[in-house]
A and B are shown apart, each in its own frame.
Chain A
C-alpha cells in the first residue's frame, strides 16, 4: 500500500511538472526553455506608453520597429541541422488570407 501511494505521489509530481513546463498544441510537443536565473513572474511587461516618454529615464522594449542592419554577426551560431534566422516582423495585410 505504501509503495502504491509512493508511486502515485511520484506520478502526480511528474505530471504536474510536465503540465507546467511543456504542453501539447494540436498534437505537437511544445517545450519552453527560459534563460537561467530569470524571474519573469515578478514583473509585468511595461506598457509602451510608459517606456518611450519624453523624460530622461527610458526603458528598453522588446519590439523591433525599424529595419536597421546589424554590422556584426549573430553570436549564436547554427549548424547543418539548425538554421538560425531573425524573425521577419509581420506587416498588416501581407501574404495569403487565413
Chain B
C-alpha cells in the first residue's frame, strides 16, 4: 500500500515537472495584469469583451517615443536612427503610424465628387431648420473674406462651399502638431518634439519579448542621447509598464520568499538543532509549490502573480504539516517514525480536508483569479500532505529530543494563558481590548475597490507618460463607446444616432468632444438624406437665386445626377483617413464593431445612461467596471467562504458533534470576523484582497485549532510548539507583504499578519473544555 502511494507520489512529481518544463519554454508564463483576475463576461456582452481585447491589442501593441532637440534636423536624425535600430532587430514593423501620406489637395480631389452627400453637421442642422439663406450668406461671406482662400474654380462646382466646410469640420482644432518626413512634431519653448510611433512585432506581455526589447530600447536611446548633446528621448507604452511591474513584483516576491525561507530555516534549526527538519520542510514546500504551479498551468495559460503570492501562503500550511511531524521528536517516549505520523495523522487529515473543501468551494466562483488560487492551493496542499504521510517516515531517522527550557517557557505562557484559572482577569482584559478594537474598527470600517488605488504604476514611467500627454495635448478620456452591428452600414447608422445625442451632451458640457468613423464617412443612408436635403432646399430656384445674389455665372452648380456615395472601403483603399482604422475594431462577415472615443468627459453618468437608449451600443469605463467587479466579487468570495464554512462545520460535526465543531471552528472564525475591524481601527481599508487573505487565515487557523483539539494532554506542548513555528513562519513571510508598494498586496499582507496572530493566539480555545 505504502509502495503504491510512493510510486504515485513519484509519478505525480514527474508529471508536474514535465508540465512546467513544457509550458515554460520561453520563461514562466506569468500574468501581472490585475484585469486577468476578473471573470469573463456573460453571453450577451461577448462582443464587448472581444472589442475590448481587440482594442487592448491595438493600444498595448504600440510604443511612442518622443525625440526632442532645439535643432529640428538633429531631432529628425535621432528619430530615424532609433526607429532604424529597432527595425533592424525586428522589434518593430513600422515607425510611422497614423500619418496621412496623401496631400490635402489629393484628399480633396478624392472626396470632392461625393460633396452633396458629405455635409458638415452645421450645414445639415441649418438645412433641417430650412435656413437656406444662412448657408447662402455663409458662402458669400467666405468668398468675400480677405486673402481669398476660395477660388472661382471651387465656387464653379460648389457655389454653397459645402465641401470646404465639411473638410474644415474634420480638422482637429486642438491639434498642435506639424509634420516632418512622416513624423508628427510639436514646437514648444524653442524645442522640437518628434513623435515616433512604433508597432511592436512581439507580444508586449511576453516576458521573453520584454526582456529583449526593453533593455535594447533603453540602451539604443541612451547611446543616441550620448552622441547628440541636449537630445532627449522619452517613451511610453504598455510594454514598459508591464516589464517594470513584472520586474518589481518579481523582485519583491523574491525578497519576501527569501526572507520567509531564511526565517523558517533559522527557526527550524533553533528548535531542532538539526538539519533534517529543514530538509523535510523544504521538501514539503517544494512539492506543494511544484504541484500547485503544474495544476494551474494545466487549467490556465498563465499563472497570475497574485496566485503565486497567495500560493506562497501554502508554504505556511505545508510547513505547518512538516512542523507537526518533526515536533513529534519531542514526544515523552522514544517512538518510531511511523508512530510519529500516526500521532498527527488525524489532525493532519482533518486539516487537509477542511482546507481543500474551502478551496474547492472557491473554485466554483466564475472568477479566473479565484479558480486559479483554489486549484493551486488544493493541489499543492494535497501533494504536501502526501509528502508528509508517504515520504517523511521513509526519510526520518532522527532520535527523540528534549524540549529546551526556553522553548518550554514560551509555550507554557501560551498554554497557561488559556488554562490557568488565576489568569481569568488577563483573559477578560484581552477580550475587552479585542472588543474595543472591534467597536472602534466597526465605526470606521471602509471597503475600497478603486483599481487605481489598488494597483500602483511605476512613478518614473507615469511621469514620462504625463509629460508626453502634456506635450502632445492628448487628453483622451479612458471611457469610450463601442458600437456593433451585422453590417458596416448598420454600425454607421447607429453611430450617427449616438452622435446626435452626444452633440447635445457637448452643449451641456458633459464632454468636450468625440471622434467617430461616421464623422469622416457618413452612412449611405445619411449621404442619401443629405443629397435629398440639398436637392430640395439648395438646388433649383434657390441655387439660381444664390448665384444671382453673388453675380456668378448661372451655369455654376452641382453634378447632382451622379449618384455616387462614399464608402469606407474607398476611403480605406486609398488611405484617405488612415487614423480611422484605429476606430474600426472588427470588420468581418456580420461582425462589425466601431469605437467612438471621447474627450474631456465631465459627466460619466450622462454618457453611461445614454448607452442604455441604444441596442448594441455599450459605454465602457474600464476603471469603473473593474472597480465594480472587484466590489461584486469581494462580496461573492465572502459569500462562498461562508458557504464553505457551513460545509466544513457539517464535516467537523461528524467527528466532534455540533458543540465540538463549534468549539474547534470558533478560533479561526473569530480571527476572520475580528481581523478586518482591528485593521480598520488603525485606519486600514478592506479590499477584495483582504477578503482573499481572510480565507487563508481561516485555512491556517483551522489547522492550529485542529492540532490543539486533536493533541493528547501529554502532547499539548508539542502541538503548541508546532503551531507557534507555523504561525511565526507565516507572519514572517506575510508581514513582509505588508511592505509592498502595491496596495492590493499590502492589504493582503496586513490581513494575514493580524489574522494569523489572532488565530494562533485563540487556537487553544479549541480544546479548552475537552
Q: Do A and B interact with each other, yes or no?
A: no
- A interface vs B, CB < 8 Å? none
- B interface vs A, CB < 8 Å? none
